[in-house]
Structure 1
Amino acid sequence: MELASKLSLEIFGKPFILEKRIELLHAIEAHGSISKAAKAVPMSYKSAWEAVDTMNSLSPEPIVCRETGGKDGGGTTITAYGKKLLENYEVLKEEHTRFLKRLSELTDIESGSLKTIERLAMQISARNQMQAEVITVEPENVNAKIGLRLKSGQLLVSVITKEAVEDLHIAEGQTVTAIFKSNTVSVSLKDKDEEKEETDLSNRVEGVIKKIEKDVKNAKVLVDIGKHDTVVSVMPADVLEKLGLHEGSFVKAVIKASDIMIGR
C-alpha cells in the first residue's frame, strides 16, 4: 500500500491546472491538433476544447492558440507561456512526488500509525538556509563529507553521519538545503592579495556586506554572496568595531563543515 495524491493548481479558487489537462497540453504539443490530442489522452473533442477554454480564460496569458491557414489548414499549438507553464509544473510535480515518498517513509500505513511525521512541518530557527546541489558524497568510517555547490557557484563542505546520508537518501545531483546558525559564521575583511585556503574543516565564501543591524551588545551582518544568496553572521558589537566591518566591505565568511546541517 502506498500514498498517492493528484497535483492540481488553482486560480481565484477554481481548478486551473489538473494532471489530465497537463496530459492534454503535452498531447497538443506532440500532435499539433486538438482532435488528435483528445484521442491520445483520451477525452472527447468537446471536453478537450472546454478544458483549453477554461485554462485560457483563467490564465494571465494564452496557453493554447489555434492557427488557421497554411498548407495543412492550420492547427493547435502551445504558446511560449504555455511551454513555460509545463516546465514549471514538472518541477512542482517532482517536488510533490518527493514529498509523498518522504511521507510514506514516515508512515506505517499497514498498522495505521504515524512515526515522526511532525518533522515534515518543522520550522527551523537557524537563520542560514540555502539551496545547494550535492556534487560529491565521500563516506568515511563514521561520517561522510558532502560537497555542495551554492546558487552563486561557491562551494561548501558539510560533514554529517553516514546514517544521516542513508536516512535522507543523499546522492550526487540532488538539490538540498544547507542549514547553519548565524553564530557559527565568522566574518572578516577579505584581503585582495590573500590566497584562498582550502581545508577539510572549514568553508569560506566571499561576498559584500549588504546590511548591518546592531544594538548595544550584538551585531547582525548580512553578506551578499551572489545569486540572491545571503549569509548571516551574529557577533558581539565590539568585535564588529575591532574588525572594521561596514556596509560595502568585501569580506570572507567562514563556517566549519561540522556546523552545516543538510535538509531534504
Structure 2
Amino acid sequence: MSISANLTLELFNKPFLLEKRIDLLIAIKKFGSINKAAKEVPLSYKAAWEAIEDMNNLSNTPIVIKETGGTGGGGTKLTEYGENLLNTYLILKEEQKKFLENLNRITDINSGTLKTIRRLSMQLSARNQIIGKIVDINLGSVNAQISLELKNDKKLVSIITLNSVENLDLKIGDEVVALIKSSNVLISTDTNIKISARNSLRGKIESINKGDVNSEVIIDILNGDKVVTVLTTNSLEDLGLEVGLEVDAIIKASDIMIGK
C-alpha cells in the first residue's frame, strides 16, 4: 500500500489544468496537430477541442492557438504563456512527487500508523537554507562526503553519517537543502588565509544589524543566495566589516546538515 495523488490546478474555483489536459498540451507541443495529439492521449477530437476551449476560456491569455497556411496547411501550437504554464506544472508535479515519496518513506500505512507525520510541518531554526544539487557522494566507513553545486555554480561540501544518506535516500542529481546555523559561519577578509574548513563562499556584505553584544551580517553570494552569520560586535569592529565589503563565509563541512 502506498500514498498517491493527482495534481490539479484550479482557476476561479474550476478545474483548469488536470493531468489529462497536461498530457494533451504535451502532445500538442510534440506534434503541432490537435488530431495527432488527441490520438496520443487518447481523446476524441471533439473532447480534445472542448478541453482546449475550456482552458482558453478560463484563462486571461490563450494557451493554445491555431495556425493557418504554410506547407503543412497549418496546425495547432502552444502560446508562449501556454509553454510557461506547462513548464510550471511539470515543476510542481516533480515537487509533488518528491513530497509523496517523502510521505511514503516516513510513514507506515501498512501498520495503520503515521508515527513521524510531524516532520512534514517542522519549522527549522537554522537561518541558512541554501538549495543545491548533489554532484558527488563519497562513502566512507562511517560518514559520507556530499558535494553540492549551488545556483551560482559555487560548491559546498557536507559531511553526514551513512545512516543519513540511507534515510534520506540521497542520490547524485537530487536537489537538496543545505542547512547551516548562523553561529557556525565564520567571516574572513583575508583571501589568502589557509584554513581547515572545506567551504569558503566569496560574497559581498549586503547588510549589518549591529547590536550591543552580537551583530548579524548578511552576505550576498550571488544568484539570490545569501549567507547569514552572527558574531560579536567587537569582532565586527575589529574586522572592519561594512556594507559592500567583499568577504569569505567559511563553514566546516561537519556543520552543514542536509535536508530533502
Give the TM interval when normalised to the shorter protein.
over 0.9
Higher mean alpha-carbon deviation, 50-59 vs 203-212, is at 50-59
DSSP 3-state at the match of 1:113: coil
Alpha-carbon offset, residue 60 of structure 1? 4.3
Alpha-carbon offset, residue 171 of structure 1? 1.5
Partners of 2:4 and 2:116 in 1: CA distance: 19
1:193-212 equivalent positions in 2, closer than 5 A: 194=192, 197=194, 199=196, 201-212=197-208
Deviations 1:164-191 (A, max 9, x none): 0011011111111000110111112144
DSSP 3-state at the match of 1:114: coil
Q: How large is the Cα RMSD of the aligned pairs? A: 1.7
Letter matched to residue 211 of structure 2: D
Alpha-carbon offset, residue 198 of structure 1? 7.2
Deviations 1:47-80 (A, max 9, x none): 3222212222333432210112334332211223
In the alignment, does 2:210 pair up with 1:220?
Answer: no
DSSP 3-state at the match of 2:3: coil
Match of 2:182 in 1: 182
The TM-score, its normalising length taken from structure 2, stands at: 0.93
Higher mean alpha-carbon deviation, 241-250 vs 32-41, is at 32-41
Partners of 1:255 and 1:72 in 2: CA distance: 59
Deviations 1:77-124 (A, max 9, x none): 122332232222222211211211111112222221112121122111
Higher strand share: 1
Letter matched to residue 103 of structure 1: L
Partners of 1:68 and 1:202 in 2: CA distance: 60
Match of 1:21 in 2: 21
Match of 2:235 in 1: 239
The TM-score, its normalising length taken from structure 1, stands at: 0.92
Match of 1:93 in 2: 93
Deviations 1:221-256 (A, max 9, x none): 000011110000011111111110000111011111
Which blocks of at least 5 consecutive residues in structure 2 are unaligned?
Answer: none
Alpha-carbon offset, residue 13 of structure 1? 2.9
Q: What is the count of residue pairs matched by the alignment?
A: 260
DSSP 3-state at the match of 2:15: strand
Partners of 1:45 and 1:179 in 2: CA distance: 51
1:188–1:245 CA contact under 8 A, matched in 2: no
Letter matched to residue 79 of structure 1: T
Q: 1:60 to 1:263 in 2, by over 3 A?
A: farther
Partners of 1:145 and 1:252 in 2: CA distance: 22
Partners of 1:75 and 1:136 in 2: CA distance: 45
Percent of aligned positions that are identical: 50
Partners of 1:223 and 1:139 in 2: CA distance: 32
Match of 1:107 in 2: 107
Letter matched to residue 96 of structure 2: H
Q: Choose from 225, 228, 231 the match for 1:229.
A: 225
1:137–1:171 CA contact under 8 A, matched in 2: yes
Match of 1:248 in 2: 244
Match of 1:51 in 2: 51
Partners of 1:64 and 1:134 in 2: CA distance: 37
DSSP 3-state at the match of 2:221: strand
Partners of 2:26 and 2:219 in 1: CA distance: 43
Match of 1:75 in 2: 75
Partners of 2:249 and 2:71 in 1: CA distance: 63
Which blocks of at least 5 consecutive residues in structure 1 are unaligned?
Answer: none
1:121-136 equivalent positions in 2, closer than 5 A: 121-136=121-136
Match of 2:84 in 1: 84
